[in-house]
Chains A and B, each alone.
Chain A
Amino acid sequence: MKRVVFFIAMIGVCIVAEAEVSPPNMSRVGPGPYRPLYPPTDKEKEIAVDAFFLDRRPVTNTEFLAFVRENAKWRRDKISGLFADERYLSHWTGSLDLGPGADAEQPVTFVSWFAAKAYCESRGGRLPYEAEWELAAAANESSADAKDDPVWQRRILDWYSKPAGRPLGKVGRSVPNYWGVFDLHGLIWEWVYDYNAALVGGDNREQGGTEKLRFCGTGALKASDKNKYADFMRIAFRSSLEARYTVGHLGFRCARDLEDK
């Protein structure tokens, strides 16, 4: 009898692990391949990304305000200059007051990598890796890999080419993608844990040497790769950042491993 109970319990555990229910407001993404624009070595043209959980929406001003209330050291009047530049949360009226310049449901922006990382950790998660973020963002509404959808490509490039000087939209108002995730494109840039992994040199035309692939600039892109231009722009953007930087259109969302390892 004892044995049977134990056996059943085992099955239970297995089932839970298999179809592990997503935490609230997170989607299960992957597993899937990620093809970096600049593969670290020839053998790593494709990286296998394990399944993970990703916030369905970017973190909002309201959510970040709650975090700041709980963790005074991340208030804009308390934060150390090592962890954020002087624009940190500058669109809020006060240290604990969003005010008219920051809508409750807008994604929080003007946050540094340090602050984003601390937020995710306080919520039991972490920042997504670039490979994870890119895997999630490679999907359109109907398919996990939208690289052959020109309309979707066009929409992404259109966002990159619109100036940013207008109020941000609210989170979760777009159509969720294949994984059920909102706003990966068309709302903000997002921090990733390894934001400068694919460091693009400041001069994006340099060639040769060990960094050849990474520094190859547009010259190395064939016309057939033109749908990689969006990837290119994201990598250029990320590589211009430093961990203490804050930018008006740069926010984040959190990720989590499937189960505690």
Chain B
Amino acid sequence: MPDTGGSAKGDFGSPRGDPIEAVLTQAPELPPPTKRDYPAKVVVHLEVKEVVLPIADGVDYTFWTFGGQVPGKFIRVRQGDTVELHLQNHPDNKMPHNIDLHAVTGPGGGATSTFTAPGHESQFTFKALNQGLFVYHCATAPVGMHIANGMYGLIFVEPPEGLPPVDHEYYVMQGDFYTVGKYRAKGLQPFDMQKAIEENATYVVFNGSEDSLVGEKALKAKVGETIRLFIGNGGPNLVSSFHVIGEIFDRVYQEGGTRYQENVQTTLVPAGGSAIVEYKIEVPGTYILVDHSIFRAFNKGALGMMKVEGEERKDIYSGKEVDSDYLADKAAPSQAVAKAAEKMKEGELTGDLQIAAGKTLFQGTCSTCHQANGEGIEGVFPPLAKSDFLMADKGRSIEIVLNGLEGSVVVNGKPYHSVMPPMSQLNDDEIANILTYVRNSWGNQGEVVSPAEVQAVREKTARPPGAAK
């Protein structure tokens, strides 16, 4: 492949034709290819909005956004285009904002020209001399905070000849978030500056929320199709080890540049950087997108899904479908739990429904330590299966889940000297269902635990410092 010549060969002269209003899209969608063979003037209207949206189930966060969601709207232009960018700062916003596009050639990348007070608009123009996939972000003081609140997105500068066609293009952008409450602590969670400085992320998510690419919102494709993912990483701090479980990337345009590497398992996406990955899908099923810095996937939310329909290919892969242990509560968060919640409202909650709901919740929250079969790990995590300690006192078991347990306990004759963190981010229904399941599984037999009982313990006892209320 010959050298593209970089910015030196990126100027195709003055814009031609009428100015074109850019099509901007929210993730995971992309604007269509420009399909142009001449340089044009492209007008981009980007509106900054400060909004409250869920970052996880029951957890809200105040995001600062380019266009109303995280990540910001996707911009697509052609190399050599002249881009006239209008930055509007919505009148209801509290903060001034600006934009720095890494696609800009010029000091500051546009930040100085676009510093805008709430209720005002600014504009600047640049020629997109380099092709590639670029991050844009806000650069207003305190810069780290504006980025940590979600102020980033992607702009793709197409090579003049465009990219080869594929069946689906998707937009996925990772970001790390820092909240005062712990992971999944319910309610509106404020930004935590100290955690951000320590790079101690509470959430690491794709497209601004734990749930943005799971269940109904999973990316979709069919067997035999070729997929192109435009991956960005807004940071502010963490570098992503982007990986799709069960797929090998046929091509990766590393760091969003021009050349590609082939046959890649995991690609690094720097904070403030990008990558384009392409792969053909041969086998149907659910593919899991993760940051393979793997605690982020299972304990901080960096997990998405692509659901692929089509004919089985047992000659390529004989395996079973989605592994629910792997996915924990993400596999089928909805059905059992939702049904229990619904019946609960109607006053028809039965022990069986609670057990079914509790099972999924248990896989998500407790099985990491106590194991899926409840047997724990000797000397480290005590067993729940046939645990004399657990079954002796229902009220105490509620208290343990809510407030954690520290110090020595003897379970079935064996001592444990360890710490269980409080799980008070779970709501009363969830704890009641989990404990009903735990107390009625693996040979345990006990009464159901009702949400009212959990509520009573919650009111009567105090949470350790730092735990969700």
Contact = CB atoms under 8 A, between A and B. Distances in A.
B395 interface: no
Nearest to B118: A247
A163 B117 contact: no
Interface in A220-261: 221, 223, 226, 229, 232-233, 235-237, 239-242, 245-250
A232 B141 contact: yes
Given A218-B141, A232-B141, A202 B113 contact: yes
A163 B52 contact: yes
Interface stretch (A9-17, A153-161, A172-180): A153-161
Interface in B165-201: 180, 190-191, 193-194, 197-198
B108 A226 contact: no
B212 interface: no
Contacts of B116: 240
Given A163-B51, A226-B197, A233 B95 contact: yes
A202 to B, nearest CB: 3
Nearest to A223: B197
A249 B112 contact: no
A219 to B, nearest CB: 8
Interface in B65-107: 91-96, 98, 100, 107
B143 A163 contact: no
Nearest to A162: B62
B94 A206 contact: no
B95 to A, nearest CB: 7
Contacts of A97: none
B119 A87 contact: yes
A240 B115 contact: yes
Given A240-B116, A248-B92, A205 B191 contact: no
B140 interface: yes
A87 B92 CA distance: 12
B144 interface: yes
A131 interface: no
Contacts of A236: 95-96, 140-142
A245 B52 CA distance: 26
A204 interface: yes
Contact of A202 (B52, B111, B198): B111
Interface in A55-113: 85, 87
Given A157-B190, A163-B50, A229-B145, A202 B112 contact: yes
B139 interface: yes
Contacts of B194: 223, 226
A222 to B, nearest CB: 9
A244 to B, nearest CB: 11
A223 to B, nearest CB: 5
B149 interface: yes
Contacts of B259: none
Q: Size range of the interface on A?
A: 35 or more
B26 interface: no
Contacts of A226: 193-194, 197
B152 to A, nearest CB: 15
Contact of B139 (A164, A205, A235, A240): A205
Contacts of B62: 161-163
A242 B93 CA distance: 17
A160 B193 contact: no
A87 B96 CA distance: 17
A201 B116 CA distance: 12
A175 B108 CA distance: 42
Nearest to B144: A218
A203 interface: yes
Interface in B134-160: 139-145, 149
A189 B93 CA distance: 12
Contact of A164 (B92, B108, B144, B191): B92
A205 B95 contact: no
A158 B94 CA distance: 12
Which one of A85, A229, A241 has the greatest number of beta carbons of chain B within 10 Å? A229
B112 A203 contact: yes
A229 B118 contact: no
Interface string A160-190: 1111110000000000000000000000010
A245 B117 contact: yes
B200 to A, nearest CB: 12
A120 interface: no
B360 interface: no
Which one of A87, A217, A236, A239 has the greatest number of beta carbons of chain B within 10 Å? A236
Interface string B248-287: 0000000000000000000000000000000000000000
A163 B89 CA distance: 13
A189 to B, nearest CB: 8
B89 to A, nearest CB: 8
Contact of B94 (A162, A200, A217): A162
A206 B117 CA distance: 19
B140 A204 contact: yes
29 contacts: A154-B190, A161-B149, A161-B191, A163-B51, A163-B94, A164-B50, A164-B92, A164-B93, A200-B141, A203-B115, A203-B139, A204-B140, A204-B141, A205-B143, A217-B141, A218-B141, A218-B144, A221-B142, A223-B197, A229-B142, A232-B141, A236-B95, A236-B96, A240-B116, A240-B140, A247-B91, A247-B117, A247-B118, A248-B119
Given A87-B119, A237-B117, A250-B118, 8 more contacts: A162-B62, A163-B51, A203-B100, A203-B111, A218-B142, A218-B144, A223-B197, A240-B96
Identify the 3 closest CB pairs spanning chains A and B, nearest first.
A202-B115, A240-B96, A204-B141
